[in-house]
Chains A and B, each alone.
Chain A
Amino acid sequence: MAKLLHMPEVSANATHAAIQNWTLKEGDTISAGDCIAEIETEKALVELAAEEDAVLGKILVEPGREVEVGAPIGVLFARGETNVDIAALLAKAGALSAANEPVVDAPVLQPRAEVAPAIDVCHSERIFASPLARRLAAAKGLDLTSLKGSGPNGRIVKRDVEAAPAANTALASVAAPVSAIDFDEVPHSSMRKTIARRLVESKATVPHFYLELECRMEPLLALREQVNRTASRKISINDFIVKAVAVALRQVPAMNVTWTETALRRYHQADVCVAVSTDSGLITPVVRNADSKALSQISADVAELAGRARDGRLRPEEYQGGSFTISNLGMFGVEQFSAIINPPHAAILAVGATQLKPVVENGELTVGSVLRCTLSVDHRAVDGALAAQWLAVFKGLLENPLGMLI
């Protein structure tokens, strides 16, 4: 019996999603568990796996087109089944598909499965602007959504763009006379848009404060060397930091919280997110229960999550949750930086490089291995003294690493 394949709710609260790629074509036989398609969410690619044996009868939504969650995206035939009345199936699906006209209108056979123009996916609302206004705005580096149109029905026209100050005057005045097309435009991916939206939201609405301190790293470096001499997989400084953060969260549970409009959410386990840079942007996979995991397990988890994050193949549950993020730019030689809190987290620890530096020890100037950390904290959820107390615990763990292994 043929049935409709619906767009799953691949990430929490998402109302829309797009098929990034059909991994099978019409007529292909499917075994339960096979990946039928890859679905792009705001954060990652998710595989849509078959629940039972079937045949991919029809593809209703071409790649790239965003449709409502729950909308039919394809038709699965039973093996051996022919003469399926797809129209009747869609009609039976009723309200949802009717409310989602493009899906119903989708031709049964797509002669070419071209990716729809980026603009259809990127803009939920069409911006009315003349072609010339679009081009001039691009040359000026202006975002059309920031302009008010004075043309018929609010259409953005040349004079509106000319009246707007250039986004970057220096750039525009140099670039414009030569050519308006001295650049090319890469349409934003869903992921990039999510990053932008969330970071703006964080920086604009979350009251950040910052605490900085230095940790002496000699004991940790010595321990790491010792461990790595025998360990099957190398443990990184970052693995120690993940562990130390988690243990510190366990020891100062008041820090393991997130702010919501109605209540402070206190977490029962220490889940630590690690910022991973990928080609398409930043993502923060979560290491669950990091306080109780062995360093080798943390190392394996981080490596595995980071690898799949770079492939865009994280599942939502692998990057959602937690209260705390670690962002480590030490491997790039960055000495110190401040990070933007990753909402809804309450804090993010920016970790720099471990460097040899002059330090004062017992009144004597000497050389020490120093790691600088900056903690960004959501002041709504955590006050300064508490954050400082947590940071002291963290520093203690890092400087006496055996303590966190016990």
Chain B
Amino acid sequence: MSEIKFDVIVVGGGPGGYVAAIRASQLGLRTALVEKAQLGGVCLNWGCIPTKALLRSADVLRLIGNASSFGIEVAAARPDLKAIVKRSRDVAAQLHRGVSGLMKKHRVQVFNGHARLDGPQRLKVTGEKGDFSLSAPHIILATGARARVLPGMEPDGKHFWTYRQALVPDSVPKRLVIIGAGAIGVEFASFYHALGAQVSLVEMAERILPIEDQEISAHVAQALTRDGIRLYTGCALQGSKVEQGIVQLRLEGKSNETLEADVVLVAAGIVGNVEELGLESTGVKVQHTHVLVDEFCRTGEPGVYAIGDLAGAPWLAHKASHEAVLCVEKIAGLNPHPLDSRSVPACTYSHPQVASVGYTEAQARSAGKTIRVGKFPFAANGKAIAMGATEGFVKVVFDAASGELLGAHMVGEEVTEMIQGYAIARGLETTEAELIDSILPHPTMSEAMHEAVLAAYDRALHG
């Protein structure tokens, strides 16, 4: 059995793994990447990107439905599910090809197959053409995560879905119950609702989007309810059964109803892909399906690293990519800084969209900080009114003593494209003074970001 030597081997080709490989190659390290399925990982093939394609179709449909309010008369729009799904898959395929191109460009050697640790500095890869060995002093595990499966609700593609099945539906279910009102659940709720499904969202926590700021959650809950999505928060699942092709879901908690569904989409968290990696005989420690790592993504086994979803929350592609870079730079002897989890922005592409970075108001208070909070509604923003996009608001949280921007929270149209302003502000460690002094272009919806800062200091000009 031949053995090929590298400086760095990355296992997994998602936004953590392929970025790690590119960075390693940029730093002059001989780099290999092993992927058992498709380059680009879940993000690109089964997550972030294809869902955005679907949601874009839903937006277009919604906009056309709303055309008369812009003075445009059109015949009733009719969604073509097959074409919508095809477009989503085409987008994913295009990006998948893009990542392959990047690997070639950066001279990363890509191996197809399943890799597992096989002694120090060694990986055994099981590929289509048999087993082979790779070795490197540094092995980065970036195998990602998958949807948690609830007992009795194993995905069957018929009555029980995970995001995978939800991305490629043959038809729109009449009654869809979504378990879990995190970002994935809420996004699919928006999509299937737009396409005509009767959607119910079940969430164990007391509110939907439970990790977002309370006021943001409340606003989204109100918007979804207004649109006709039923919310069952504070509810646990008592049991489920399928009778005559219909799923019966018994709830327990704030509601004890039994919900009927044609399809149940399980979006109740994820589990790390820690199996079949050969971790058992190593010093790598696994806790709650995630690999324990230090601030530079080092595991308990020298020379073995874990990044991205595999290494734990927040389960976000951009967090994985950031860890990829800092992990590789540390390996290369550079001096990167550990990730500041409070500076990782999070986006939910529901209708309305949600975007945030840093402390929520409640988190800041429970951290013992004295804070100043500012809010500004898009209803008071000229551009938003012109665009017919007055839903939502911007909220900022400052440390009263230092003026540090602790957190920013937004709900409304395309706020996911705006949160970067606050992310950069946090990254550059600006205080309220620099934000107040900044000139934002008029007319834009981003002016609301400026006004929210002004409002925190009792200086809002239009609020």
Residues of A within 8 A of B (CB): 130-133, 135-136, 139, 150, 157-159, 176-180
Query: In the complex, what residues of B have CB within 8 A of residue A157's CB?
Result: 429
Interface contacts (Cβ under 8 Å), in number, total 37
CB-based contact A139/B401 at 8 Å: yes
- Tell me, rounded to whole Å, the shortest Cβ–Cβ distance linking A311 to chain B: 37
Query: In the complex, what residues of A have CB within 8 A of residue B337's CB?
Result: 150, 159
CB-based contact B401/A131 at 8 Å: no
What are 21 A-B contacts with C-beta separation under 8 Å?
A130-B429, A131-B428, A131-B429, A131-B431, A132-B403, A132-B430, A133-B429, A135-B402, A135-B403, A135-B431, A136-B402, A139-B401, A139-B402, A150-B337, A158-B404, A159-B337, A177-B401, A179-B400, A179-B401, A180-B401, A180-B402
B256 at the interface (CB under 8 A from A): no
A139 to B337, CA, bound (A): 25
B242 at the interface (CB under 8 A from A): no
Query: In the complex, what residues of A have CB within 8 A of residue B402's CB?
Result: 132, 135-136, 139, 180
A216 to B100, CA, bound (A): 97
Query: In the complex, what residues of B have CB within 8 A of residue A135's CB?
Result: 402-403, 431
CB-based contact A132/B401 at 8 Å: no
| 1/0 contact string of B418-457 vs chain A (CB within 8 Å) | 0000000000111101100000000000000000000000
Query: In the complex, what residues of B have CB within 8 A of residue A130's CB?
Result: 428-430
Residues of B within 8 A of A (CB): 337, 370, 400-404, 428-431, 433-434
Query: In the complex, what residues of A have CB within 8 A of residue B400's CB?
Result: 179
Query: In the complex, what residues of B have CB within 8 A of residue A177's CB?
Result: 370, 401
Query: In the complex, what residues of B have CB within 8 A of residue A158's CB?
Result: 404, 429
- Tell me, rounded to whole Å, the shortest Cβ–Cβ distance linking B113 to chain A: 39
Q: Which 4 A-B pairs have the closest CB atoms?
A: A130-B429, A132-B429, A180-B401, A131-B431
A177 to B370, CA, bound (A): 8
Q: Is the interface of B mostly helix, strand, loop or mixed?
A: loop
A215 to B75, CA, bound (A): 111
- Tell me, rounded to whole Å, the shortest Cβ–Cβ distance linking B93 to chain A: 37
Residue of B nearest to A177 (CB): B401
Residue of A nearest to B401 (CB): A180
12 more A-B contacts (CB under 8 A) besides A131-B430, A132-B429, A157-B429? A131-B433, A131-B434, A132-B402, A132-B430, A133-B429, A135-B402, A159-B337, A176-B401, A177-B370, A178-B401, A180-B401, A180-B402
A95 to B348, CA, bound (A): 60
Query: In the complex, what residues of B have CB within 8 A of residue A139's CB?
Result: 401-402
Determine which residue in A131, A157, A176, A179 has the highest number of CB atoms from chain B within 10 A of its CB, and name it: A131
Determine which residue in A132, A176, A178 has the highest number of CB atoms from chain B within 10 A of its CB, and name it: A132
- Tell me, rounded to whole Å, the shortest Cβ–Cβ distance linking B329 to chain A: 13
- Tell me, rounded to whole Å, the shortest Cβ–Cβ distance linking B264 to chain A: 46
- Tell me, rounded to whole Å, the shortest Cβ–Cβ distance linking B341 to chain A: 14
A180 to B370, CA, bound (A): 12
A244 to B302, CA, bound (A): 79
A136 to B429, CA, bound (A): 11
Residue of B nearest to A176 (CB): B401
A159 to B400, CA, bound (A): 18
- Tell me, rounded to whole Å, the shortest Cβ–Cβ distance linking B200 to chain A: 44
A130 to B401, CA, bound (A): 16
A179 to B370, CA, bound (A): 10
Query: In the complex, what residues of A have CB within 8 A of residue B428's CB?
Result: 130-131
- Tell me, rounded to whole Å, the shortest Cβ–Cβ distance linking B159 to chain A: 51
Residue of A nearest to B400 (CB): A179
Query: In the complex, what residues of B have CB within 8 A of residue A133's CB?
Result: 429
- Tell me, rounded to whole Å, the shortest Cβ–Cβ distance linking A339 to chain B: 41
Query: In the complex, what residues of B have CB within 8 A of residue A131's CB?
Result: 403, 428-431, 433-434
Residue of A nearest to B338 (CB): A159
Residue of B nearest to A159 (CB): B337
A135 to B399, CA, bound (A): 12
Please judge, given known A-B contacts A139-B402, A158-B404, A180-B402, whether A132 and B431 are in contact too, CB under 8 Å: yes
Residue of B nearest to A134 (CB): B431
A136 to B434, CA, bound (A): 15
Determine which residue in B429, B430, B433 has the highest number of CB atoms from chain A within 10 A of its CB, and name it: B429
A179 to B434, CA, bound (A): 19
Query: In the complex, what residues of B have CB within 8 A of residue A150's CB?
Result: 337
Query: In the complex, what residues of B have CB within 8 A of residue A159's CB?
Result: 337
A381 to B431, CA, bound (A): 53
Query: In the complex, what residues of B have CB within 8 A of residue A179's CB?
Result: 400-401
Query: In the complex, what residues of A have CB within 8 A of residue B430's CB?
Result: 130-132
A132 to B402, CA, bound (A): 7
A136 to B401, CA, bound (A): 9
- Tell me, rounded to whole Å, the shortest Cβ–Cβ distance linking B8 to chain A: 24
Determine which residue in B370, B400, B430, B431 has the highest number of CB atoms from chain A within 10 A of its CB, and name it: B431
CB-based contact B370/A132 at 8 Å: no
A136 to B337, CA, bound (A): 20
Determine which residue in B370, B404, B433, B434 has the highest number of CB atoms from chain A within 10 A of its CB, and name it: B404
Query: In the complex, what residues of A have CB within 8 A of residue B370's CB?
Result: 177
- Tell me, rounded to whole Å, the shortest Cβ–Cβ distance linking A7 to chain B: 32
- Tell me, rounded to whole Å, the shortest Cβ–Cβ distance linking B338 to chain A: 10
Query: In the complex, what residues of A have CB within 8 A of residue B403's CB?
Result: 131-132, 135, 180
A158 to B404, CA, bound (A): 10
- Tell me, rounded to whole Å, the shortest Cβ–Cβ distance linking A149 to chain B: 12
A131 to B437, CA, bound (A): 12
- Tell me, rounded to whole Å, the shortest Cβ–Cβ distance linking A95 to chain B: 38
A150 to B335, CA, bound (A): 9
- Tell me, rounded to whole Å, the shortest Cβ–Cβ distance linking A279 to chain B: 30
- Tell me, rounded to whole Å, the shortest Cβ–Cβ distance linking A80 to chain B: 46
- Tell me, rounded to whole Å, the shortest Cβ–Cβ distance linking B389 to chain A: 32
